[in-house]
Structure 1
Amino acid sequence: MDDAHSDSRDVVRLVVVHSPRHQILLIPSESDDEDGWTLPSVPMRSGETIRRAASRHLRRTVSLPPLRISPLIGRLSRRDTAEGVQYVVVVRPVAESWPPAVRFAIAPEACWWTTAELRSDRAQVEPAELLDFMDGYWGGWLPDGEISLE
């Protein structure tokens, strides 16, 4: 699949997963009107691929060890602006697990969550489609490639 996108208003939302425990790393939402959780976001450079943007941020900016980017990519409209797209990508470590400090490397206030914990706590999550997306990923019922989350 060619994942090149040239619109610099596009962003990549990173789903950093801890596979053995089926956890995802979320950061507090910056929304003023609600307490909630969201995915780290990386702006894409013009002409940059989705995978390249994710890798650039995680390997260079955050200095994470080697990683795997899932071929599954979620796509939805940006909600903070009239134009642009959000791409949701799943990122796993090449090794069995991330180093313990990965949570702090992403954001000091980041937390590991399972989708079950988020559902039982009725936590506000953005994008709202994230929990179903991740349940599909863990269950293996989502196809590889780009899918619409809207």
Structure 2
Amino acid sequence: MDDAHSDSRDVVRPVVIDSPRRQLLLIPSESDDENGWTLPTVPMRPGETIRRAASRYLRRTVHLPPIRISPLIGRLSRRNSVVGVQFVVVVRPAAESWPSAVRFAIAPEACWWTTAELRSAGAVVEPAELLDFMDGYWEGWLPDGEISLE
């Protein structure tokens, strides 16, 4: 598959969370900003559901233990492509907590952050709507289902 076609596909952006600490696991952004953080980007296969794409990536590629995907789904247009949608999904462990190595499974440079820490540090977060989305998730004021983040 050539790059033009892969850029037009929908993607899933899984937010791996630690609920008791209200933290999310982010990876360094590939932008020039050294204080930038982002989520993994998982291309969806034709006919694949949002949850299946996130599960495929986290269970098969990253080898995480069993997961639970929240019924809350954020939807954004893809900023680096004229077509395609990015879906943000919240993922937590099926058991009570993640194994300690979960951070390294996602990426060696991954870090746990609270939304308050990211704001206090002046970190650039992509997608920019992620912090408000996560605050809404933590506080319970976002409804289950798919919502626009634009």
| Same fold, judged at TM 0.5 (above) | yes
Deviations 1:34-81 (A, max 9, x none): 630001111100110000000001111111111000000000000111
SS at match of 2:104: helix
Give, in whole Å, the separation in 2 of the partners of 1:84 and 1:112.
28
Structure 1: gaps (5+ residues): 1-7
Q: Is 1:110 aligned to 2:93, yes or no? A: no
What amino acid sits opposite 1:46 in the alignment?
P
CA distance in 1, matches of 2:98, 2:41: 19
Describe how 1:2-21 pairs up with structure 2 within 5 A. 9-21=9-21
Secondary structure of the structure 2 residue equivalent to 1:117:
helix
Aligned residue in 1 for 2:38: 38
The ranges of structure 1 where at least 4 consecutive aligned residues each deviate by more than 3 angstroms after the TM superposition are: none
**Map of 2:124 onto structure 1:** 124
Partner of 2:77: 77
2: CA distance, partners of 1:34 / 1:83: 28
* Matching residue's letter, 1:54: A
Per the normalisation by structure 1, the TM-score is 0.93
Q: Secondary structure at the match of 2:108?
A: coil
Matching residue of 2:63: 63
Mark the runs of 5 or more structure 2 residues left unpaired by the alignment: 1-7
Q: Aligned Cα RMSD in Å? A: 1.3
| Residues 106-127 of structure 1, C-alpha deviations (whole Å, 9 max, x = no match) | 0000000000000111110000
Equivalent-residue separation in structure 2 for 1:109 and 1:83 (angstroms)? 30
The Cα shift of 1:32 comes to 2.7
Distance 2:70 2:53 in 1: 14
Task: Determine if contact 2:25/2:113 at 8 Å carries over to the other structure.
Answer: yes
How many residue pairs match? The answer is 144
Give the equivalent residue in structure 2 for 1:5.
Answer: none
Determine the C-alpha separation between the residues in 2 that align with 1:38 and 1:63: 20
> Greater shift after overlay, 57-66 or 28-37?
28-37
Q: Distance in 2 between matches of 1:104 and 1:34?
A: 20
